[in-house]
């Protein structure tokens, strides 16, 4: 009986050890491995055109989503699910693991790089201004607004372009931050601000869908410049939790293939991008994160 009991105890101990090993292995599985196993990735979007948004039937669309699908498919991930949040909630959301990837057209900025791991850039855009039809205040640069002493400009909470405004000399009390881009253009039409400032593609889409014939691009417009006099471009990319480096690396391989094959431009073009809006395939998030 003693021998049988010892065998029974050993068997139980072995079974327990196998369970613990299995649980340890499961907990060590990375998000990327889980996504590949389920063939699914959850994407955080701000429900904003043309980047990532839901149609009335629940279908997720947008240029960022189209690029993401094309980059994920060769990896074996062929299903993307949406998690809709305000743009300002994207970084807290990715760090709280509410979704796997930020697919809201977020720009790579050094300050953001402290909290988020970015993929290689998938687009390069300039920030521009919209005004009321006829451009009554003759705005053709951010400096025009700064020098006026009274003109107000609006943009979106949490957006990268807000950083350009103080650099141009526009004081904080003449900057109005809106939760949504649609609220910003509504604020312009209502006279709460004299101009709004967004990436060119996003602004064109806003004017097309919500301008009502009373809002237009300020043209010509002098793009903001950095301290060296170089144009300040917005490089959009996918955002990840900093622990998901294997996911970022795998996606970067596919982004480079899309770019060098010309397939990236084919995806971007129907949304209004030009070849000038496609970044150099050798440009990395690491380089952009180090720009002062």
276-285 tens-digit pLDDT: 889 999 999 9
Whether 245 shows a pLDDT value over 50: the answer reads yes
Tens-place pLDDT, residues 90-145: 999 999 999 999 999 999 999 999 999 999 999 999 999 999 999 999 999 999 99
Least confident among 15-19, 163-167, 271-275: 15-19
**Which segments within 23-63 are labelled E, that is strand?**
40-45, 53-54, 60-61
Work out the percent of the chain whose per-residue pLDDT is above 70: 90
What pLDDT is stored for residue 227 in this prediction?
79
Give me the torsion for CA of 238, 281, 246, 268, rounded to 10°.
Answer: 30
Same fold, 31-122+237-289 and 125-217: yes
What pLDDT is stored for residue 25 in this prediction?
46
Whether 8 shows a pLDDT value over 80: the answer reads no
What is the tally of helices (H) and strands (E) in the chain? 12, 13
What residues does each domain of the chain span?
31-122+237-289, 125-217
Cα 219 to chain center, whole Å? Answer: 26
Give the C-alpha distances (Å, rounded to integers) separating 117 from 106, 112, 221, 238, 289. 12, 9, 32, 8, 10
Tens-place pLDDT, residues 179-213: 999 999 999 999 999 999 999 889 988 998 999 99
What pLDDT is stored for residue 24 in this prediction?
44
- The structural architecture, per CATH, of the domain 125-217 is 3-Layer(aba) Sandwich (3.40)
Q: Which DSSP symbol is given to 282?
A: T
Tens-place pLDDT, residues 92-103: 999 999 999 999
- This prediction has a pTM of 0.75
Name the CA radius of gyration of the chain, rounded.
24
Q: What is the mean pLDDT of the chain?
A: 91
- The structural architecture, per CATH, of the domain 31-122+237-289 is 3-Layer(aba) Sandwich (3.40)
């Amino acid at each position: 009986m003693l021998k049988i009991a010892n065998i029974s105890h050993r068997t139980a101990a072995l079974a327990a050890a196998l369970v613990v090993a299995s649980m340890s292995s499961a907990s060590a599985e990375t998000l990327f491995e889980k996504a590949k196993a389920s063939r699914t990735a959850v994407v955080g979007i701000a429900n904003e055109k043309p980047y990532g948004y839901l149609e009335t039937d629940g279908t997720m669309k947008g240029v960022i989503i189209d690029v993401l699908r094309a980059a994920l498919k060769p990896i074996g991930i062929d299903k993307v699910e949406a998690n809709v949040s305000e743009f300002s909630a994207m970084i807290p959301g990715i760090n709280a693991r509410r979704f796997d990837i930020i697919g809201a057209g977020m720009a790579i900025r050094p300050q953001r790089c402290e909290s988020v791991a970015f993929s290689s850039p998938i687009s390069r855009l300039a920030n521009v201004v919209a005004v009321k039809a006829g451009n009554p205040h003759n705005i053709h640069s951010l400096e025009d607004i700064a020098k006026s002493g009274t003109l107000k400009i609006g943009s979106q909470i949490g957006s990268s372009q807000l950083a350009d405004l103080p650099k141009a000399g526009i004081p904080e009390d003449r900057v109005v931050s809106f939760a949504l881009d649609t609220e910003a253009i509504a604020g312009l039409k209502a006279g709460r601000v004299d101009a709004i400032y967004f990436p060119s593609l996003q602004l064109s889409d806003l004017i097309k869908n919500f301008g009502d014939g009373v809002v237009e691009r300020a043209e010509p417009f002098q793009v903001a410049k950095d301290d060296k006099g170089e144009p300040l471009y917005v490089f959009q990319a996918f955002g990840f939790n900093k622990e998901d480096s294997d996911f970022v690396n795998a996606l970067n391989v596919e982004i480079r293939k899309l770019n060098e094959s010309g397939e990236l431009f084919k995806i971007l073009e129907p949304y209004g991008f030009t070849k000038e809006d496609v970044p150099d395939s050798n440009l990395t998030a690491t380089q952009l994160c180090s720009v002062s």
